[in-house]
A = this chain, B = another copy of it.
Amino acid sequence: MRVTQPLLRNRQQIPHAIATVDGERRHTWQQLSERVARLAGGLKALGVQAGDRVGVVGLNSDRHFEIFFAVPWAGAVIVPINYRWSAPEIAFSLSDSGTRVLFVDHAFWHLVEPLRAQVEHALTIICIDDDLPGADALHEKLIASHAEIEEFPNTADSLSGIFYTGGTTGRSKGVMLSHGNHVSNTLQYVTMCGAVDDTIYLHAAPMFHIADALYVYAITHIGGTHIFIPRFEPAACARTLQEHAVTDIILVPTMIQMLLEQPGFKDFDLSKLQRMFYGASPMPEAVALDLMAKLPWVAACQLYGQTESAPLLTALVSRYHTADGGRLRSAGRALPATEILIVDEDGKEVPRGQVGEIVVKSPNVMLGYWGREDATREALRDGWLHTGDAAYMDDEGFIFISDRLKDMIISGGENVYSTEVENAMYQHPDVAQCAVIGVPDDKWGERVHAIVVPRPGTAPEPAALMAHCRKLIADYKCPRSISFQEEPLPLSGAGKVLKTELRKPFWAGRGRQVN
């Protein structure tokens, strides 16, 4: 089980099928596999050895894709970098992982100088674009000037990549994923969600994030075609879906909302789109309903997982992705070869319907955190990955995610799950975006506070929103205070609302860990 093995297979079986399309550039699997093996030769010539870490900071592109395979082909370990991070945050992950070779594209070229200054060791910078000043090497030149090398004989247990989670210097952790993790994730994904070799997949979500990276591996494995746009933008996404007759895509819920709500959306011909996956953050029910209403022929599927499990744990496949029965709020059921239990603080399984922590056994589960044996021991206990996510399971094994444990609000001794409150808030027509957090309160310990971005042209009253909530959820869960802002909520690279950032001003100088 190696992530590079499908390149050999595709070269053997479908050498002339299209592997990648990026604007005017397209490569067959024959060409792609040659480019990867040459780029790997170039890396070796730069001194990259087996086990060395090689980073990437770049927008989505076919070249970015090639790096995902050239690095393990050379026996090295890829470190995909979240490009929304600040230079010090990126510098931390490069120093922490000992990444000495870094691919950078034009969009992030301004980071080169600060990174050279801030990273603890010298960096060899490879420019993904054709030429930019200060590069030590160029992606295309490495390919042009090196012969193909043999694929490195990785095994299932070999380290394949280090994916950093979080984004706050102090606690960002490098998740070590093996070749076997990615391949078993792929096989379980296809077994549960289906995919065939005529899949045409659009990389619109950022490839550095495991939610899209999973498709870098999976679509390659099944011999489908990869299409790229540099970054998600609603019109470009819709246009590319139409132009390339895309069949499959993953987006985060905020992207789906932007895609569906853009002006002129109904004029795009998306009749070839077959499957839309979403995950990485909670899906407001209103957006799911809008998706089913506007693209009724598309099989919608919610995926749930985390970087530590490469990433998939559950899927709500399209046959259960229906408005009736209340399952639309579920993240679905465990993938085959994946075990999920909901446990209490002592690790004992709780009765169905009761909220506890999700713990997992799966061949997808990471090797551990890079250089963080303490954190690894904390996350992997007795063979179970502790996800830090709170959820309950119904009688048929469907998982309902309540919240990240760290986003849970404890107010007057009651647990309040922020996503439940947000779901209620989103049902108000004036609410465009909403995040619910716990803020310090002398009486209740924490107070339920909502931050709302109103829809343009509306000016909702706090009292009206609170009254709206009380009709939907228990009184103690309803926001006690609401603040409004016009600018969109801060998002992580994966499209998750950065509650850490939102909590900071409220908790400055106080005891609570905000992240």
Contacts and interface: CB of A to CB of B under 8 A. Distances in A.
A337 B191 contact: no
Contact of A6 (B14, B186, B336, B340): B336
Assembly stoichiometry (copies)? 2
Interface string A162-191: 000000000000000000000110111011
A156 B153 CA distance: 20
B9 A222 contact: no
Interface SS of A by simple majority:
mixed
Contacts of A156: 363
The range of chain A's interface size is 20 to 34
Interface string A377-396: 00000010000000001011
Contact of A336 (B9, B339, B340, B397): B9
Nearest to A338: B9
Interface in A24-68: none
Interface in A212-232: 221-222
A13 B316 CA distance: 13
Given A363-B1, A396-B14, A191 B222 contact: yes
Interface in A197-255: 221-222
A154 to B, nearest CB: 12
A5 interface: yes
A337 B13 contact: no
A177 B99 CA distance: 40
Given A187-B337, A191-B191, A221-B336, 9 more contacts: A5-B337, A9-B338, A12-B340, A14-B396, A153-B383, A156-B363, A184-B184, A191-B222, A194-B194
30 contacts: A1-B184, A1-B337, A5-B337, A5-B339, A6-B336, A8-B339, A9-B334, A9-B338, A9-B397, A12-B334, A12-B397, A13-B397, A14-B396, A14-B397, A15-B395, A153-B383, A156-B363, A183-B337, A186-B336, A187-B188, A187-B191, A187-B336, A187-B337, A190-B190, A190-B191, A190-B336, A191-B191, A191-B222, A221-B337, A222-B336
